[in-house]
Amino acid sequence: MRPATTSRAADGALRPALEHLVKGIVEHPDDVRVRLVDNRRGARLEVRVHPEDLGTVIGRGGRTARALRQVIGSVGGKGIRVDIVDSF
């Protein structure tokens, strides 16, 4: 998948899907923000949540974050990264 195609896929279907998944596991779903950042190395989806929900999204030992990355990676390919940003 070329970077432009990857970026379109990330913004078209993957960003809303990731937002939906994250909103389903947090206490403050209205504070969930997923933003597409496009650069030379490919697309990146940045997830921002309420500070109280950060631990939930990361999970014990990073398990939840890893699972979210696996789901998005399997649907969108290897060119899309998922980053959980700790500043709200």
User: What is the DSSP secondary-structure string of 66-79?
Assistant: HHHHHHHHHHH-TT
Would you list the domain boundaries of the chain?
3-85
Res. 78 pLDDT band, cuts 50 70 90: confident
- Which pTM does this prediction carry? 0.84
Neighbours of 50 (CB within 10 A): 16
Are residues 83 and 44 in contact, defined by beta-carbon separation less than 8 angstroms? yes
Architecture of domain 3-85: 2-Layer Sandwich (3.30)
Residue 18 above 90 pLDDT?
A: yes
Determine the pLDDT at residue 41: 79
Determine the pLDDT at residue 6: 58
